Homo-oligomer: A and B are copies of this chain.
């Protein structure tokens, strides 16, 4: 049944050595046109394809990249899977998916990742503890954080790179836009306290507010979860001095917030309250939401990630932290000038 032809079988049929078969499938190896042709035709006859596992054992490169993710509800991440796998595939690499259960990979999944001899790991929508990062570094497998940044101090000496957009700048831009459009009681609906995107976005936002001589009138956490973002919105609007605008740390939660605003609180967007998100997922453009948001280009971020990956895999050079510029796309959730 399993008709897995081996290089040996091909060699016999083609009447050459097994080494010749191997060379015929190795780009740049020295084989004459003639033998390569004979080998290739024998291989085709037998349905032979080199065993990638055996090859990896020798070459010490599996051409497998581990992609670790915590949750895919936020459409941003599926897009990352798609872009990253496609780009990597075109270059002969493949993605081994790891979905963490609790948001943070355990020693267990890390061990498995390492057992599969992956050439590198990219962490997206999941955090790597300093201990695990160290373990990767010790094994020599480069890790790049996608859309998050390691806690600096504890990662000294590890080979953890990162690719993020300019979250701080994005946060600033949101505050400036909202202020310019006359909103005065602006609240922040964040994600998770220990998330670097959350922190940087809030920081830039608060800085710009402070420079304008004001401050946020409210703050609540949605934990990057749809339902909890709804609750956070109710919380923000439960007091006496209600916000007239919301900066939400990502689109996924911004949409949840809009649902509550319009349907439970009977508030009009953008007249009664302005809303700005972050990411620009496809849903942000849907007719019923038309969310004004900060654009993070998945494509640019993935391109940068792949560059860093190659660089790190090639020469294990110093870790890099790439920051991609972002911009606001105005749709219909902030009133016009």
List A residues at the B interface (Cβ < 8 Å): 1-4, 47, 49-54, 56-57, 60, 62, 64, 67, 71-73, 75, 77-79, 81-82, 85-86, 89, 94-99, 101, 109, 111-112, 114-117, 135, 138-140, 226, 255, 258-260, 262-263, 282-283, 286-289, 316
Q: Is there contact, CB below 8 Å, between A49 and B259?
A: no
With a CB–CB cut-off of 8 A, which chain B residues contact A283? 283
Chain A to chain B: the 7 pairs with minimum beta-carbon distance, closest first: A259-B287, A288-B288, A2-B140, A78-B78, A52-B115, A72-B78, A85-B99
| A207 CB → nearest B CB, Å | 33
Using CB atoms, name the residue of chain B closest to A49.
Answer: B115
With a CB–CB cut-off of 8 A, which chain B residues contact A67? 97
With a CB–CB cut-off of 8 A, which chain B residues contact A114? 49
| A70 CB → nearest B CB, Å | 10
| Docked CA distance A60–B62 (Å) | 17
Q: List 15 A-B contacts (CB under 8 A).
A: A4-B139, A47-B135, A47-B138, A52-B115, A53-B56, A53-B116, A54-B57, A82-B99, A86-B101, A96-B97, A226-B282, A255-B286, A258-B287, A259-B286, A286-B288
| A320 CB → nearest B CB, Å | 18
Using CB atoms, name the residue of chain B closest to A70.
Answer: B82
Q: Is there contact, CB below 8 Å, between B82 and A1?
A: no
| Docked CA distance A255–B285 (Å) | 12
Given contacts A94-B97, A288-B289, contact A72 B82 (CB under 8 A): yes
| A290 CB → nearest B CB, Å | 9
| Docked CA distance A53–B64 (Å) | 11
Q: Is there contact, CB below 8 Å, between A112 and B97?
A: no
| Docked CA distance A278–B15 (Å) | 58
Q: Is there contact, CB below 8 Å, between A94 and B98?
A: yes
Using CB atoms, name the residue of chain B closest to A316.
Answer: B1
| Docked CA distance A115–B4 (Å) | 10
Q: Is there contact, CB below 8 Å, between A89 and B99?
A: yes
Given contacts A2-B140, A53-B62, contact A73 B226 (CB under 8 A): no
| Docked CA distance A268–B326 (Å) | 37
Q: Is there contact, CB below 8 Å, between A97 and B99?
A: no
Using CB atoms, name the residue of chain B closest to A114.
Answer: B49
Q: Is there contact, CB below 8 Å, between A111 and B262?
A: no
A116 touches which of B3, B79, B94, B112 (Cβ 8 Å): B94
